[in-house]
Chains A and B, each alone.
Chain A
Amino acid sequence: MARGAPLLEVSDVARAFYGLRALTGVSFGVRQGTITGLIGPNGAGKTTLFNVISGMLRADAGRVTFAGWDATNRAPHLISRAGLVRSFQIARGFPRLTVRENLMLYARDNPGERMSRALLWNAKTRQAEREIGARAAAVADRLGLRAVLDNPASALSGGQKKLLEIGRTMMASPSMILLDEPAAGVNPSLTRTIAGHVRALADEGMTVLIIEHDMTLVRELCDPVIVMTEGRTLVEGTFAAVAGDARVQEAYLGKKQWH
């Protein structure tokens, strides 16, 4: 892939729910190695767009290209295996699995996930599982989840669930992650911690596309920032440029009324 070419490219993506046009034409590119912010008022279609990119929702029109591969309307597991893995805004997942299992589940190419290998359960399969277990423990260490590794995911605090969301995406060894409001509803000190984790991942070469409403976090982490409103992309630029844009202020605060 040419240097500077976008790793993820979204062009003219549209999606309607019966009469409601949630996405009307979203186009942008995410360059490799960036932490790109995706902001916009509630209802702008950010999460719907994530659902389309990750294959959980079909696009009515448009195209999603990831690392030169046409990812439009592919099955979610194929998109994740291609190295593009998303997190969820309202920490979703597996309440009856432990934190360790939540993490280990996301590992790719686990031979023990094949029925025959699971039944044979030979040394090689066990070894692969052990290595994945060690990786899960390392990810948990890094995120401060070591102490709760064997707790059910349902027993975690809200903040720990947010950390687990990030940890699960890490376990898939992706080249790019989509984070849907990783700091929503967490206290300011944990927001700092989460920002640190995202920054560290980017420093290791991970490309990140992040939906976030916490503008302090967006200003600190994201460059560039893409603004969506009413189902389409509005502007793209540095945080300062975007924040100073009259159209963006209007989208967030509403049009000045003439009296």
Chain B
Amino acid sequence: MDNYLIAMATIACVYGLMTVSLNLSWGVTGMVNLGIAGFFGIGAYTSALLTTRLGWPVVAGVASAMVAGALVGAVLSIATLRLRDDYLAIVTLGFAEIVRLVALNELWLTNGSDGISGIPAPIPRGYGYGFSLAFLALIAALLALAAWSASRLQRSPYGRVLRAIRDDADVTAVAGKDVVRFKLKTFALSTAIAGAAGAMYGHYTSFVAPDLFAPLLTIYIFLALTIGGTGNVKGAVLGAFVLIAILEGSRYSAAFLPELSAVQQSAVREMVVAALFLLCLRFRPRGLVPERMGAAGE
């Protein structure tokens, strides 16, 4: 396989972890997380700092990134879950910006806009092509594990409660379910997965910086999940790959428009993404792989 394609598939897997995460919180449970990029950043920096400064092994770094993502997610959701649903969206949106600004300004810890470089990989980079393939296999396995778990959870009685909460949280409480607890655990699990995505990204590229998790990243994840199909794990993963294909594929559109400058061409690329998204909303409003009903207990 071409090195470029391997790299794109790897990035698509990183995005896939984030769409699986968003599907769990928003797609299945109805909790809007506008701070995906922030949790990605928390994970990326946690693992990057622990492995470069303290010399922790990569596995421990990624695990810590997940724990950090879960803890921060739990704190944010505890603070907002008893309020109206939209508060979580507002708080997570603000949180992601705070993470980015802290990463940008706390030079002693994060090295500011220069970022952290020299992040170790779980496989020696010296293997070149072998490294790329092995890393792809690793992240694909991680994505498969996350998707399998999320899918199993969604089809289980646990997931039935989540889908009930999405429809009517008050009635779910009358059904005897501790709604706050379900939301809290589910949100923490989803932000742990987003943290893992950030950590793996850092270990893949060996470099993290604050501009990696600008708000646009969160928007891309919402786009990917909407294209793929909210409430469906297969749709979530497919959406991530479609998004990367569109983002990367539209690079080649530049060749057909040689009279445009580079800046204009990158704007055209955003327009192509937007147009495809609109087409998707018009013709496949429930996504490429729509949610199936009545899947619990199968």
- Chain A CB within 10 Å, residue with most, of B159, B170, B172, B294: B294
Question: How many positions in chain A have a CB within 8 Å of any CB in the partner chain?
Answer: 42
* B140 located at the interface, meaning its Cβ lies under 8 Å from any Cβ of chain A in the complex: no
Q: Are B157 and A75 in contact (CB under 8 A)?
A: no
CB of B185 closer than 8 Å to a CB of A: yes
Chain A residues with Cβ below 8 Å from B173 are 55-56, 75-77, 80
Question: Which residues of A lie under 8 Å from residue B179 when comparing CB positions?
Answer: 77
Chain A residues with CB under 8 Å of B159's CB are 118
Min distance, Cβ A149 to any Cβ of chain B, angstroms: 9
**Contact at B175–A118, with CB atoms within 8 Å?**
no
Select one of B160, B166, B177 contacting A101, CB under 8 A: B160
Q: Give the interface size bracket for B toward A.
A: 20 to 34
Q: Evaluate contact between B168 and A93: CB separation under 8 angstroms.
A: yes
CB distance from B287 to the nearest CB of A (A): 15
Identify the closest chain B residue to A96 (Cβ): B167
Return chain A residues, CB-CB under 8 Å to B52.
Answer: none
- Chain A residue nearest to B185 (CB atoms) is A115
Chain A contacts of B189 at CB under 8 A?
Answer: 115
How many pairs of A and B residues are in contact by the CB < 8 Å rule? 110
Indicate if the CB atoms of A80 and B174 lie closer than 8 Å: yes
A76-B170 CB under 8 A given contacts A98-B293, A112-B156: yes
**Nearest chain A CB to B183 CB, angstrom units:** 12
Give A172 to B172 CA distance when docked, in angstroms. 12
Is there a chain B Cβ closer than 8 Å to A121's Cβ? yes
CB distance from A107 to the nearest CB of B (A): 9
In the complex, identify which listed stretch (A6-14, A29-37, A81-89) lies at the interface while the others stay far away.
A81-89
B82 to chain A, nearest CB (A): 11
Query: Cβ of A92 < 8 Å from any Cβ of B?
Result: yes
Q: Mark A73-113, 1 if CB is under 8 A from B, else 0.
A: 00111001100011010001111111011001110101011
CA distance A114 to B166 in the complex (A): 18
Residues of B within 8 A of A88 (CB): 171
Q: Which residues of the other chain, B, contact A150 by a CB distance below 8 angstroms?
A: 294
Whole-angstrom CA separation of A76 from B166 in the bound complex: 17
Indicate whether A62 reaches chain B with its CB closer than 8 angstroms: no
Chain B residues whose CB sits within 8 angstroms of the CB of A121 once the complex forms: 152, 156
